[in-house]
Structure formats: structure tokens, C-alpha cells
Amino acid sequence: MLQTVANNGFRWIDIAKPDRDDMEQLVQQQFPFHELNIADCLSKIQIPKIDRYDDHVFVILHFPIVERERIPKSSQLAAFMGSNYLVTVHQGDLKPLADIFQKCMHDEKARMELMGKSAGYVFHSIVDALTDDLLNLVRKIVGNIDDIEDVVFDEKIDAAKEISYLRREITSLRRITVPLRRTLTELAGRDIPHFSEEDLALYFDDVNDHIDKAIGTLDESKETIEIYKDTDYMHGSDKSNRILAVLTIIFTLSMPVTILSSLYGMNVDIPVIGEQGSMQFLGRYTTFIIIVIGSAVAALAMVFFFRRLRWI
């Protein structure tokens, strides 16, 4: 859908969810856009880049969005910037950009404030709002890391799944943010001054500073979540080792009774047992008493031996 808003002699044309008809309308309005750039706008998988021409510049940036899943995804913003126009092309999922455009269409005061006097100024307003949205996502990740700290050090709770989600969120945001910083720095230094009446260097420096903070926070978060991952792994291994130790001790202590009961359950002649096949010197349950006493003595001896070795 193609929409247009004008202010101070220049136009901002916004195209959400572009199709071939929308791009042909631009060509019919005699915008000097290269057909390869038109194709890039229709594609959703272009890498960030800047193409420079005599009278305009074409730029592709990526910003993070979060839909139903909590993992950030990359959304493409393509922009044509000329001396008296700005054309933005996106898939309609960049909410801050859509909000700015609606304000400019319906509120004259907001239009004067957000669009200024040039394409460079309104482009800064768009990038600044999208960068603020990026910072909000980074702050949520920091909050989630703070929340998971108690879970990681609680041995009764398994934090592996939550840690994996956080690692994926951090990786996705870093993959989007690092190229964004590089592309914006180049654009602000070489191209924005040609398409703005105002001196916007400080404005874009502020945006880049926010992106730098986001990258720094993501790097710190990556290191922290790696520590939590190692801690959770160590706790899980320690828990498994304790379980195996208990099971091993139980199995070991059951060996005497297993051996004795198997021995006296065989259908062959063995020492101490009389011709009638049973012992009677302790009464009717002599054999059973011998098995219990022998097993207990052997088990206690092993316990004493394990304690001396500090296994238990």
C-alpha cells in the first residue's frame, strides 16, 4: 500500500507490504530508481547496503521485531533518499515507523516536528524511533537474565531451556545490530549531509551511540549467559554424579545378600548344611538368620571401608 505525506516542499512516500504494482506507481511518478533497487525492495532477504547515485541514495537496513515467538527476527527497511523526497519500503511490521507516518498524516504539529525540512531529518526520526525499539528489546533481555540468575543457582529447577532461549535471542539481536551500526555510520558520514538542510551530525551520533550501547549490552549479556550455561551444566553434572553415587552404593551394599541368597538357594551340597538340607542349630530359621547376619556384616564392612576412603 502506497501512501504520501508532504511537508515544507518535500514528500515522504511510504510503501508497506510492497508488490509490483506499487513499485510501478513510483516509476510512473518519474522517480529515477534503478530496476535492481526495485527488485531489492520486493525481496525480503537482502543484506544491509548503500547504493549511491547522482541525485539520490538507496539504503537497506535491518531492524529487529518480535512477533508471536519471543525470538527477534530481522525486518528489512529500504529507503530512497533524494533532495526533496524520501521513499520507505518495508513489510508493514515495523510499528514505530508506521506510528510516525500516521502522526505525520493526521497531526500537523507532529508533522513539522518529525519531518523537519528535509528527507534527511525525517529519515533520522524513523531510525531514532526504530533504535529506541531496539533498546527496549535489549532491556528486556537484560531483565530476563537478571530473573534467570536465581533459577540457575536453584538446583531443584532446570534452567537449560530458558538459557538456550536467551542465548538465541542475544545471538539474533547481535546479528542484526552489528551491521546496522556499520551501515548507519557510513550513511551519516557520507550521504545524509547531501540530503538535509539541517546539520544532523549530532543527531545521528546520538543514534549511533544508542546502537553502541545496545551492542555493548548484548556483548556483556552474551558473556553472562555463557557463565550461567556453564554453571547450570556443572550443577546438572554434579546432580547426576550424586544420583549415580547413591545408586552405586545401593547396588554395592546389596551384593552380599545377593551372593548369600544365591548360594543357599542352589540345589547342590554346600558346607555347614546337614544331610537333611537345612541347618537346625539356631532353630527352624537358622539358614535365614545366617543370610541376614552375613549380609549385614558384609554391608557394614563396606560402609566402613567407603567412609575411610571418603567416598561417602
The string of pLDDT tens digits covering residues 96-126 is 999 998 988 888 888 888 887 788 888 999 9
- Whether the CB-CB separation of 91 and 44 falls below 8 Å is answered with yes
Q: Which domains are assigned to the chain?
A: 2-237 (3.30.460.20), 255-308 (no CATH)
Strand order in the sheet with 10-16: 2-7, 10-16, 85-90, 73-82, 56-65, 49-52
CA–chain centroid gap for 129, Å, is: 22
Residue scoring higher pLDDT (151 or 280): 151
Could you tell me the pLDDT band of residue 49, with boundaries at 50, 70 and 90?
Answer: very high
Please state whether the predicted TM-score (pTM) of the whole model is above 0.85: no
Query: Residues 18-33: what's their mean pLDDT?
Result: 79
Reported as half-sphere exposure (CB side, CA atoms, 13 A), residue 71 has a value of 10
- The tens digit of pLDDT for each residue in 286-299 reads 666 777 777 778 77
Interior/surface letters 188-227, b for 16+ CB within 10 angstroms, e for the rest = beebbeebbeeebeebbeebbebbeebbebbeebbebbee
DSSP secondary structure code for residue 17 in this structure: S
Answer yes or no: is pLDDT of 88 > 80.
Answer: yes
State the pLDDT at residue 207.
92
Q: List pLDDT tens digits, range 68-81.
A: 667 788 899 999 99
Q: Answer whether 215's CB lies under 8 Å from 174's CB.
A: yes
pLDDT surpasses 90 at 132? yes
Read off the pLDDT of each residue in 297-308 and give the average, rounded to a whole number: 77
pLDDT at 89: 92
Contact present, 13 and 87 (Cβ < 8 Å): yes
The pLDDT value given to residue 180 = 92
How confident is the model over 134-184, as pLDDT tens digits? 999 999 998 888 888 778 777 667 778 888 888 889 999 999 999 999 999
How do residues 223-276 score in pLDDT, each as one tens digit? 988 888 888 777 777 777 777 877 777 777 777 767 766 666 655 444 555 545
Identify which has the larger pLDDT, 8 or 284: 8
